[in-house]
Amino acid sequence: MRAALAASVAAFTLLAMPLMETTAAKAQSERAEPGSIATAGVVREIQFMLLTIGIDPGPIDGNPRQMTNRAVRIFQQRSGLPQTDLVSNEPVPPALLERLRQAAAKVMLKPESPSAPPAPPTQAITTQPTPPALSPDRFASCTYSTDDFRVGGRQYTPQSFLDEGFDGTTNRAVINLRQRLDEARQIAEGVGGPALLEVQRQARVLAYFECRQKIEQASATTR
């Protein structure tokens, strides 16, 4: 009798285990913080925020490849966070998202600050030809705002931005910036607000390098 009862209990346990595991997995999934899984949308948001604060994540494509994880680790190191990689459809550390959103918000909200009146960009445009690095004899007609080249708390010149980001190649900068601008516009449509200001900044930077590209191409054809 006892042997039969023990066998029945064992059989019931074996049958119930898959149901128990499914229920536990469902409960764990329900407890997961919304947006803390590295879906393509979340990864794109992370890539966009990294780009906003001046850390190049590579293409904003929702894929956590080597360049994206390199950028994530740079941010984690600067923020004193544990070093981790993003893995598709795996959890994202909540602290990483929180710190990254805070950092990106500070950058994107800066143009709206009362302490940043529109006067400096106008002054930058009028005085732009004077710095030697800009080669004013060639690119004097390509006006720009110095504020547009302040990324992640660091002030670039157009030339240093070109040298560090694109190996000094204008054509490469134009191709890359066009792709980034298209991606940023798609994201900004869903985010709105300060993200639209970042899109406008990227558009002005692209317009400057497109102007330089035309001048360089014209010079090449006359040789």
Q: Looking at residues 37-65, what average pLDDT do you find? A: 87
What the block records as the tokens of 39 is 């879906």
What the block records as the tokens of 128 is 């732009």
Is residue 172 within 8 A of residue 146, CB to CB? The reply is: no
Q: Looking at residues 193-211, what average pLDDT do you find? A: 84
CA–CA gap between residue 136 and residue 171 (Å, rounded): 19
Segment among 7-21, 54-68, 178-192, 207-221 with least mean pLDDT: 7-21
Is residue 162 within 8 A of residue 173, CB to CB? The reply is: yes
Interval 109-157: pLDDT, tens: 554 443 344 444 444 444 455 555 444 558 889 989 998 888 766 788 8
Average pLDDT of the residues of the chain = 74
According to the model, what pLDDT value does residue 119 have? 45
What the block records as the tokens of 169 is 């190649």
Q: Answer yes or no: is pLDDT of 19 > 70.
A: no
